[in-house]
Structure 1
């Protein structure tokens, strides 16, 4: 498996396609909420297996000094194979490369233990985003 930053329009379209499958089709997030104004300036990541894109995410930086991990998704057939963990590791490396030392994300509550195993801890009460319960989590890098 390979994780890389999206460089071309085609790679960005692959990332958006995966997000539409996972968030819009599977989780019923409204399409108009899934793609937003941050996509144009975010750094997008893709995970590939045998040349096919199987996972996507995006990374932004906040005024509070965090690298913010967002839109992390893995196609259903590839879940449970450490793809998400490798995607997050690549994002964390890029955060450190940009001289940031903290990572932040809004986790769907069903994925809480996954993120805890990766060293993230909860800093918020539960809140709803796109009709799905979330919490904010952080990690020092």
Structure 2
């Protein structure tokens, strides 16, 4: 993989780079309504952006309740392992912060990806914005 950098900061500092990624992946590709995509959690979450050759190409956020969400990689950059390095970075940070766990709501097609990072499925699948999801957890 080429040189990449991961930055973490609040929404005020990373929104300009994170928002276009989420708009493309969730609103345009997955047809999630803007009302469902943007919420009050953005203002209080810790955000992450992956930069590849200086371009913002992936993003995610970590909430105070240990929930990882809004994990998105631009379609043109998928398959390069950026989602994996982003998730590993967040997991490492959560461990350093002595969090007891991290959890997420995974789209069903992404279950094997998250399982490969150590997450396990909890409960049955459900629809979120019309897309099948499952809750997953990784305890430390």
User: TM-score with structure 2 length normalisation?
Assistant: 0.93
Answer yes or no: is 1:33 the counterpart of 2:36.
yes
- Tell me whether 2-11 or 125-134 shows the greater mean CA deviation: 2-11
Answer yes or no: is 1:55 the counterpart of 2:33.
no
Shift of 1:90: 1.2
- Rounded Cα–Cα distance in structure 1 between residues aligned with 2:5 and 2:117: 19
Shift of 1:11: 2.3
Across the aligned residues of Structure 1 and Structure 2, the Cα RMSD in angstroms comes to 1.3
8 Å Cα contact 2:11/2:45 also seen in 1: no
- Rate the CA distance shift 1:118–1:3 in 2: closer, same or farther, 3 A: same
The answer for unaligned runs of 5 or more in structure 2 is none
Count matched residues.
137
Corresponding residue of 1:124: 123
8 Å Cα contact 1:6/1:12 also seen in 2: no
Show the 5 A alignment for 1:23-102: 23-62=26-65, 67-102=66-101
- Rounded Cα–Cα distance in structure 1 between residues aligned with 2:96 and 2:44: 18
- Rounded Cα–Cα distance in structure 1 between residues aligned with 2:10 and 2:133: 30
- Rounded Cα–Cα distance in structure 2 between residues aligned with 1:35 and 1:126: 23
- Tell me whether 93-102 or 30-39 shows the greater mean CA deviation: 93-102
String of CA shifts for 1:77-135, please: whole Å, max 9, x gaps. 11111100111111112212221021100000011111111111101210111110000
The answer for unaligned runs of 5 or more in structure 1 is none
8 Å Cα contact 2:10/2:44 also seen in 1: no
Shift of 1:6: 3.1
- Rounded Cα–Cα distance in structure 2 between residues aligned with 1:10 and 1:38: 15
User: TM-score with structure 1 length normalisation?
Assistant: 0.92
